[in-house]
A and B are shown apart, each in its own frame.
Chain A
Amino acid sequence: MKTYIEFKQIGVIASKEFRDRIRNRWVLAVAVIFTVFALVIAYFGAAQQGAVGFRGMDVTIASLVSLVIYLVPLIALILGYDAIVGERERGSLELLLSLPITPFELLMGKFVGLAGALAVSTLAGFGLAGILLSYQLGATALYHYVGFMLSAILLGMAFLSIAVMVSVMANDRMRASGLAIGLWFFYVLVYDLLLLGILVLSQKRFSLSFFPVLLYLNPADIFRILNVFGFEEVRKLYGLATVLPATLASPWALGSAMVMWIVAPLGVAVWRFK
């Protein structure tokens, strides 16, 4: 039986979710965290080379990439794991679904609202840091910085999408939170080590042409490649990125893969939630 999508219903849920995050100062807190970390890392990012102070945008972004890879997925997973399972556990889900709203609209409303909160806090946090850094950066550097911020938002949405999927599939909040933390641990800490381990152990039996595809299976790696490939100096620092052929390293291919990482988990969530 055909059901039409009512975008107004998605908007009602999304605006409630967004306003809740504004009201409980979640957006403000995350923005402040991003600003402070971004400024500290921009200033001390080159300390290993024996110098402190604001350097060029390439070094700043290289330092911020590591921060974003650790912080943004964690924040997105914490933000989204509760979205559906929390409503279910509290008992408010059945009341919501008794109203003229479909599970799809409810899920999309949740995602859009939370993604909005995450995007605003990311833009505000890194944007403020960008404004503070802008006096010593040129137009090209700012262009790269904007690209970095947008890709950070995409990374956040990819992990938010994973979190919403977890929230639909988990039986209770405890399991959902455990699963979310486990996924963060896997994608941010374990995955690259695993790939390197496979590469070393396989000793050339493992095809190098297949290796870049495996990097696409981790949104954190896509984000890393997306940001480090713009800078020649930074590219040299990342051995993993250099194995990527030019076609797979194009911003469009990487951007599309990131969008797939947003769409695919959401698709699974919608399918399961129905």
Chain B
Amino acid sequence: MAYNVVEVRGAVKHFGETHAVDGVDLTVQAGELFGLIGHNGAGKTTLFKMMLGLLPATRGEIRVDGQPVRGEAFRQVRRSIGYLPESLALYDNLSGLEIMLFFARLKAADPRSCLPLLEKVGLADAARRRVRGYSKGMRQRLGFAQALLGSPRLLFLDEPTNGLDPQGIREFYQVLRELREQGVTAILSSHILAEIQLRVDRLALMRTGKIQALGTVHALREELNLPLDFQLTLRPGAEEPLRQALANQSAASVQFNGETVHVRCPRERKMAILDTLMALDGALLDLQIREPSLEDVFLGYSDATV
């Protein structure tokens, strides 16, 4: 039976009149890569801080590794947690290696692991340089290396790819994949939905402090029943035959956008639309079928709420 590393039950956090987190129920299983998405101010960072015991809940209960997020028992749990905050601030007057050694001492981690971790995130050459001279991407890599100190079993990564270039993003997810294979659980938030949609096992969509949707990307797509998007490139003069052919397909909508034509239809009409398009015999130069993206899901839930 899967073990719930994180359990959030009816968590509420009020800042005066503002309900930053408003009755959240959530469980994250061991070994899971869990995504937390939502617009700015949705409550993701507040929930992160509550799960880390940095902000006490106004109401509700949060347990990490079976322990309430306070007291001596949670201190021990913290030794096996890695955290990369959204707004990462490090000590500019220290070198990358010195910062790693400082955090290693606080986490009672092996100081000999500092250099290998810096190598892992691509900072071996800059290890002895002062952080003052680091780029934003390098600081983010250092923050990630710091989170990996002490071989954590649970990672909280708030906007972890902030400031990373495409190569850095790829390397970050490569490391995360390796950690996951070793059984590490990771909870990450990101604004870049395309980046996490193929990488997370499950995700929660937050809106105004509440969990609006929870599940796998596939399940959320199914729940919203978002249409498939056929992107067509037509031969000149083929617009009218296309219109006529699709006129009988009542569930399909057609939108002309320059040289590209978008035909949207419910998932269950996919084969019927495909047959119709194939029957146009040479009118098509190109055809792509696009599944609804996580961004579509996100916007779909936003529209649903509105």
Could you list which residues of chain A lie within 8 angstroms of chain B, going by C-beta atoms?
Answer: 1-4, 9, 12-13, 16, 20, 23-24, 90-92, 94-102
Q: Are A98 and B54 in contact (CB under 8 A)?
A: yes
Given contacts A1-B70, A9-B106, whether A98 and B83 have CB atoms under 8 Å apart is yes
Q: Which 6 A-B pairs have the closest CB atoms?
A: A1-B71, A91-B89, A90-B89, A98-B83, A92-B89, A91-B87
Q: A23 CA to B81 CA in the complex, in Å?
A: 31
- Please give the distance in Å from A8's CB to the nearest CB on chain B: 8
What string of 1s and 0s marks CB contacts (under 8 Å) between B78-94 and chain A? 11010101011111010
Q: Which B residues fall within an 8 A CB radius of A?
A: 49, 52-54, 68, 70-73, 75-76, 78-79, 81, 83, 85, 87-91, 93, 102-103, 105-108, 146, 156
Q: Is the CB of B102 within 8 A of A98?
A: no
The smallest C-beta distance from B273 to any residue of chain A, in angstroms, reads 51
Closest to A4 in B: B72
Q: Do most interface residues of chain B lie in helix, strand or loop, or is the interface mixed? A: mixed
Smallest CB gap from A12: residue in B: B105
B49 → chain A closest CB, angstroms: 7
Knowing A12-B106, A100-B106, say if A95 contacts B72 (CB, 8 Å): no
User: With A1-B70, A3-B75, A4-B72 known to touch, is A101 a contact of B91 (CB < 8 Å)?
Assistant: no
CA distance A101 to B105 in the complex (A): 11
CA distance A148 to B229 in the complex (A): 83
Interface centre among A16, A92, A94, A99 (most CB of B within 10 A): A99
Name the B residues within 8 Å of A96 (CB-CB). Answer: 106
Q: Which residues of B contact A4 (CB under 8 A)?
A: 72
Complex contact B108–A20 (CB within 8 A): no
Q: In the assembly, what is the distance between CA of A96 and CA of B91, in Å?
A: 12
Contact A100 B78 (CB under 8 A): yes
- CB of A105 to closest CB in B, whole Å: 10
- Provide the residues of chain B in CB contact with A91, threshold 8 Å: 85, 87-89
Q: Which residues of B contact A95 (CB under 8 A)?
A: 83, 85, 88-89, 146
Q: How far is the CA of A94 from the CA of B143 in the complex (A)?
A: 13
Chain A residue at minimal CB-CB distance from B91: A92
Chain B residues with Cβ under 8 A from A1's Cβ? Answer: 68, 70-73
- Cβ distance B202 to chain A, nearest Cβ, rounded Å: 23
Residues A94 and B49 in contact in the complex (CB < 8 Å), given A1-B70, A3-B75: yes
Smallest CB separation, B210 vs chain A (Å): 23
The CA of A101 and the CA of B53, in the complex, are separated in Å by 12
Q: Roughly how many angstroms separate A3 CA and B71 CA in the complex, as a whole number?
A: 5
Are the CB atoms of B85 and A20 closer together than 8 Å?
A: no
Instruction: Give A100 to B72 CA distance when docked, in angstroms.
Output: 9
Question: Is A12 in contact with B102, judged by CB distance below 8 angstroms?
Answer: yes
A20 to B98, CA, bound (A): 12
Is the CB–CB distance between B54 and A94 below 8 Å?
yes
The interface residues of chain A lying within 8 Å CB-to-CB of B85 are 91, 94-95, 98
- Of B49, B87, B105, B146, which is in contact with the most chain A CB atoms at under 10 Å from its CB? B105
Q: Is the CB of B76 within 8 A of A100?
A: yes
Out of A16, A97, A100, which one reaches B79, CB within 8 Å?
Answer: A100
Q: Which residues of B contact A20 (CB under 8 A)?
A: 93
User: What is the CB-to-nearest-CB distance from B162 to chain A, in angstroms, rounded to a whole number?
Assistant: 13
Bound form: Cα–Cα A13–B102 in Å: 8
Q: Given known contacts A99-B107, A100-B79, A100-B108, is B71 in contact with A16 (CB within 8 Å)?
A: no
